[in-house]
């Protein structure tokens, strides 16, 4: 059952004021299910004006979480659980929010308490296992601070690499940010792993060179022997962090990955050749979900097509339009509607142009 369904099912019928609050809360969840985050936020805010209620607070917290306003989400969830400690969805979301805030100890404690009340939660058990591994591993890591990044690394041998990573990322912060005229709001955490640690923590496919899940995670074996590749991966993952700051959800994978490949400095001529020489090229709208389950060959084609598409979109619509598109997605506007509004063409028309250009 979804969080929305749980909240709607549990609404309490009371007097006229309570009924009005319930109606607003129900409208908030319906808007949230439809992806209309601004409408949902307005409805939950109006409901809470009638007084604090667990399900309205949970809804407001989920909106804040989806918009990466994690501290506000935490405050709403704590208030909801003070009113109803048995509200399991609030506990589950609080653990995730605390993790995003970098408070891994409290996130683990929150899930441990949730499992004490309801032990039949396999997803929580799996997440808890991963977080415990991460906590144990990171407890022995050092830290390197720069203006916009915190780099975690293991041992003195990686200290110079962490210094280099911070320099690469600070340069990317200004270069990519200036190109798009936007920058991440918060300091970005970067974790440098061995290859084995990276696979264990991220569960990424073998072909992945890095990952972003709120933190930039990069395996560093051989980085000093191939600094160019190390730099490429860091810039790629930083671009994901920047996109995430504009739109935490709803961005098609091809656009997210395409921008990352574009700003890492990929050779677009080579990307186009890879697309044209591929035995099978998927339609762009088949690349809207994560590439993680693709095989190595499929992934290469997917990334190449994404880069070509992102470059075409930047050329045809302009950087400002792409940023406005991402911002609209972040506010809950469905991608096709946001695309047509800000790129001044339909998503279908863009795909047709892209297909015709590659023939």
Average pLDDT over every residue of 215-242: 91
Sequential DSSP letters for 264-284: TT--HHHHHHHHHH-S----G
C-alpha dihedral sign at 344, 346, 347, 351 = negative
Q: Residues 157-183: pLDDT tens digits?
A: 789 899 999 999 999 999 999 999 999
Q: Is the pLDDT of residue 351 over 60?
A: yes
Distance separating alpha carbons of residues 60 and 72, to the nearest angstrom: 9
Q: Is the pLDDT of residue 227 over 70?
A: yes
Sequential DSSP letters for 231-268: HHHHHHHHHHHHHHHH-SS---HHHHHHHHHHHTT--H
Q: Residues 91-129: pLDDT tens digits?
A: 999 999 999 888 999 999 999 988 888 888 888 898 899
Q: Is the pLDDT of residue 252 over 70?
A: yes
Q: Residues 315-330: pLDDT tens digits?
A: 999 999 999 999 999 8
The residue count for the chain: 359
Q: Is the pLDDT of residue 14 over 60?
A: no
Q: Residues 23-58: pLDDT tens digits?
A: 899 999 999 888 888 899 999 999 999 889 999 999
Confidence of residue 225 (pLDDT cuts 50, 70, 90): confident
- Supply the pLDDT for residue 1: 46
DSSP 8-state secondary structure symbol assigned to residue 294: S
Average pLDDT over every residue of 323-346: 93
pTM above 0.85, yes or no: no
CA neighbours closer than 13 Å in the CB half-sphere of residue 215: 19
What token pair was written down for 16? 């006229």
Domains in the chain (CATH in brackets) are: 3-138 (1.25.40.10), 142-245 (3.40.30.160), 253-357 (no CATH)
């Amino acid at each position: 059952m979804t969080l929305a369904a749980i909240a709607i099912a549990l609404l309490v019928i009371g007097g006229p004021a309570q009924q009005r609050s319930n109606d607003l809360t129900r409208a908030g969840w319906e808007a949230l299910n439809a992806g209309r985050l601004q409408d949902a936020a307005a409805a939950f805010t109006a409901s809470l004006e009638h007084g604090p209620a667990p399900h309205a607070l949970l809804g407001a917290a989920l909106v804040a979480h989806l918009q990466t306003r994690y501290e506000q989400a935490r405050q709403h969830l704590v208030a909801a659980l003070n009113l109803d400690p048995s509200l399991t969805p609030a506990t589950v979301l609080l653990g995730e929010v605390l993790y995003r805030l970098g408070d891994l100890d409290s996130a683990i404690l929150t899930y441990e308490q949730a499992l004490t009340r309801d032990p039949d939660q396999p997803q929580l058990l799996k997440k808890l296992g991963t977080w415990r591994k991460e906590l144990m591993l990171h407890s022995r890591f050092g830290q390197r601070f720069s203006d916009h990044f915190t780099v975690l690394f293991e041992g003195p041998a990686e200290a110079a690499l962490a210094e280099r990573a911070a320099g690469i990322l600070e340069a990317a912060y200004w270069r990519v940010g200036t190109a798009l005229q936007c920058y991440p709001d918060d300091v970005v955490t970067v974790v440098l792993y061995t290859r084995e640690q990276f696979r264990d923590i991220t569960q990424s496919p073998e072909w992945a060179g890095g990952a972003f899940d709120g933190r930039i995670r990069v395996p560093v074996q051989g980085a000093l022997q191939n600094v160019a590749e190390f730099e490429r991966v860091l810039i790629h993952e930083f671009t994901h962090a920047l996109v995430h700051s504009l739109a935490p959800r709803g961005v098609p994978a091809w656009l997210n990955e395409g921008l990352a490949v574009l700003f890492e400095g990929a050779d677009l001529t080579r990307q186009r050749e890879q697309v044209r020489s591929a035995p099978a090229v998927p339609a762009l709208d088949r690349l809207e979900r994560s590439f993680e389950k693709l095989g190595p060959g499929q992934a290469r084609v997917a990334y190449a097509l994404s880069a070509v598409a992102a470059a075409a979109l930047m050329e045809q619509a302009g950087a400002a339009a792409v940023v406005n598109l991402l911002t609209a997605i972040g506010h809950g506007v469905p991608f096709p509607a946001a695309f047509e509004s800000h790129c001044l063409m339909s998503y279908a028309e863009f795909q047709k142009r892209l297909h015709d250009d590659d023939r």
